[in-house]
């Protein structure tokens, strides 16, 4: 067992120092009836590195990886090119195998990264401050709703129909148990976001309005108008960004009125990972910082006056405030934040703007190719790299038939909204800088075939 350094002779010597005959004596506080006499039955015994690698590789080989097929999925998780140096750097043992930086004198590497990350995120989202990351966008979204309730002392959240349904469900689940009220608009298969409907739902009980930007169908809501309406009634605007690359092209939510901006940072540096780990971004106005959930890194000085960094404002946190804490979170996604930060550093603001432009152009070419197929129409007139097409039949089946042809053609609204028959023909399509003209041609040709019912 290659991970266990003790030899039998050393174990015996150590038992002698402790003064017991056998290791079982050290488990004497466990009631005898609950002690297992040997390895748990029904499980295999240890295996060699080669055998493990063979087994795991065989499982991996059963999956169609995104890079092995024309790929057009988005809807909350995005595939982008990650420069090779990102993964190389996060695999340095000093980052990969470090603990949460509670001992700042020997964790300046992680802490400086978190300080840089907070600054990058705040500037990207257009907020005054940002925390050192959350688990992911969806849980961060609920934390924002809970934070808005603390700030406004109201318990009703108005949620736009364009918010990713998994985010809505996450909020609904939590609200059911905490007694908060979730007033979620129904999603509509229409060309523009539901701004007017959202504005109409805001009342004097509303703590916050939650709006995705761009929304799950790729549409772009008018944040400035919603912010004005929300703030006029004493509610906060929470903007949710699932695709941060989009912010290279469209205005940052914090610059157009959002009080809290949460996001999914997976797009930059992190990778798809079948849904996790991802990375939550969280920024807000400075005046709300003490109500903010999660970890914060702050600048200070050491005993010699040198600049250094520490985790700070921990009096908001669970280990001090216990049941009064701003959240129960006691970790973040530090390694994913590092990957995001490195990727962002490589790009710089102008690189991000260029990347967003490349994504947009790829999406435009894709949309044009799909719109040329009889029976297919593009829903939105404004989008960054993700848009919705309406097909002549159930998009869920179409996606499966495309997959049979080894084309990963998008996310059907039937997958996102099971049971919403009015949305069943919608397909969310995403393109990126990785999308080639050949990929677009392959999707268009496969989709034509599927829609015409031509057998594979």
Site for another protein in 139-168 (CB under 8 A): 139, 146, 164, 166-167
Separation CA 61–CA 56 (nearest Å): 9
**Nearest-CA neighbor of 431 among 191, 73, 164, 64?**
73
Range in contact with another protein (rule: CB under 8 A) among 130-138, 197-205, 230-238, 440-448: 130-138
Range in contact with another protein (rule: CB under 8 A) among 152-160, 177-185, 196-204, 225-233: 177-185
Instruction: Please report, for residues 242, 334, 384, the alpha-carbon distance to residue 265 in angstroms, rounded to integers and kept in the order given.
Output: 7, 12, 17
**123, 320 Cβ separation under 8 angstroms:** no
Fill in the DSSP letter of residue 106.
G
Determine which residue in the list 152, 188, 231, 314 makes contact with another protein, applying CB under 8 A. Answer: 314
Determine which residue in the list 418, 421, 441, 452 makes contact with another protein, applying CB under 8 A. Answer: 418
Determine which residue in the list 194, 212, 383, 423 makes contact with another protein, applying CB under 8 A. Answer: 383
Sign (positive or negative) of CA dihedral 143, 167, 271, 82: negative
Is residue 302 close enough to count as binding another protein by CB under 8 A? yes
**Of 257-276, which residues contact another protein (CB under 8 A)?**
264, 271-276
Is residue 95 close enough to count as binding another protein by CB under 8 A? yes
Range in contact with another protein (rule: CB under 8 A) among 150-158, 201-209, 230-238, 321-329: 321-329
**Nearest-CA neighbor of 214 among 171, 162, 159, 158?**
162
Range in contact with another protein (rule: CB under 8 A) among 148-156, 196-204, 415-423, 439-447: 415-423
Burial status of residue 376 (CB atoms within 10 A of its CB: 0-12, 13-18, 19 or more)? buried
**Of 236-255, which residues contact another protein (CB under 8 A)?**
247-252, 255
Range in contact with another protein (rule: CB under 8 A) among 182-190, 204-212, 299-307, 445-453: 299-307
Sign (positive or negative) of CA dihedral 343, 347, 352, 356: negative
Q: State the nearest-atom distance from the C-beta of 138 to another protein, in Å.
A: 4
Separation CA 430–CA 367 (nearest Å): 9
**Of 183-222, which residues contact another protein (CB under 8 A)?**
220
Q: State the nearest-atom distance from the C-beta of 152 to another protein, in Å.
A: 18
Determine which residue in the list 153, 177, 374, 453 makes contact with another protein, applying CB under 8 A. Answer: 177
Fill in the DSSP letter of residue 134.
B
Separation CA 253–CA 223 (nearest Å): 7
Is residue 79 close enough to count as binding another protein by CB under 8 A? yes
């Amino acid at each position: 067992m290659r991970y266990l350094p003790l030899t039998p002779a050393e174990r015996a010597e150590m038992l002698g120092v402790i003064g017991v005959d056998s290791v079982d004596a050290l488990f004497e506080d466990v009631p005898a009836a609950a002690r297992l006499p040997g390895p748990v039955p029904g499980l295999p015994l240890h295996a060699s590195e080669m055998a493990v690698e063979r087994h795991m590789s065989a499982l991996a080989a059963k999956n169609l990886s995104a890079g092995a097929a024309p790929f057009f999925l988005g809807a909350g998780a995005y595939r982008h090119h990650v420069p090779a140096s990102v993964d190389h750097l996060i695999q340095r043992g000093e980052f990969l195998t470090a603990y949460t930086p509670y001992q700042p004198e020997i964790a300046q590497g992680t802490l400086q990264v978190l300080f840089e990350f907070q600054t990058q995120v705040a500037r990207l989202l257009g907020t005054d401050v940002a925390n050192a990351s959350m688990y992911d966008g969806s849980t961060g979204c609920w934390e924002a709703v809970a934070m808005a309730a603390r700030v406004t002392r109201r318990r009703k959240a108005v949620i736009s129909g364009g918010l990713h349904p998994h985010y809505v469900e996450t909020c609904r689940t939590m609200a059911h148990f905490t007694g908060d009220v979730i007033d979620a608009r129904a999603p509509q298969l229409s060309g523009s976001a539901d701004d007017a409907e959202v504005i109409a739902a805001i009342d004097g009980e509303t703590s916050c309005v939650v709006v995705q930007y761009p929304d799950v169908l790729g549409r772009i809501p008018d944040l400035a108008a919603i912010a004005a309406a929300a703030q006029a009634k004493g509610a906060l605007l929470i903007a949710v960004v699932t695709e941060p690359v989009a912010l290279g092209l469209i205005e940052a939510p914090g610059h157009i009125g959002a009080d809290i901006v949460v996001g999914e940072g997976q797009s930059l540096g992190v990778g798809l990972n079948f849904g996790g780990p991802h990375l939550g971004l969280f920024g807000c106005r400075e005046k709300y910082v003490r109500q903010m959930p999660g970890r914060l890194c702050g600048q200070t000085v050491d005993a010699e006056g040198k600049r250094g960094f520490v985790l700070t404002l921990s009096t908001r946190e669970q280990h001090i405030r216990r049941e009064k804490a701003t959240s129960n979170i006691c970790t973040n996604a530090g390694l994913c934040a590092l990957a995001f930060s490195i990727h962002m550093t490589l790009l710089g603001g102008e690189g991000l703007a260029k990347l967003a432009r490349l994504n947009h152009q790829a999406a435009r070419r894709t949309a044009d190719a799909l719109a040329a197929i009889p029976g297919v129409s593009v829903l939105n007139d404004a989008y960054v790299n993700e848009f919705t097409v309406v097909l002549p039949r159930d998009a869920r089946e179409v996606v499966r038939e495309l997959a049979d042809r080894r084309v990963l053609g998008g996310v059907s609204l039937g997958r996102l909204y099971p049971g919403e028959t009015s949305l069943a023909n919608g397909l969310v399509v995403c393109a990126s800088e990785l999308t080639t003209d050949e990929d677009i041609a392959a999707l268009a040709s496969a989709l034509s075939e599927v829609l015409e019912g031509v057998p594979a």
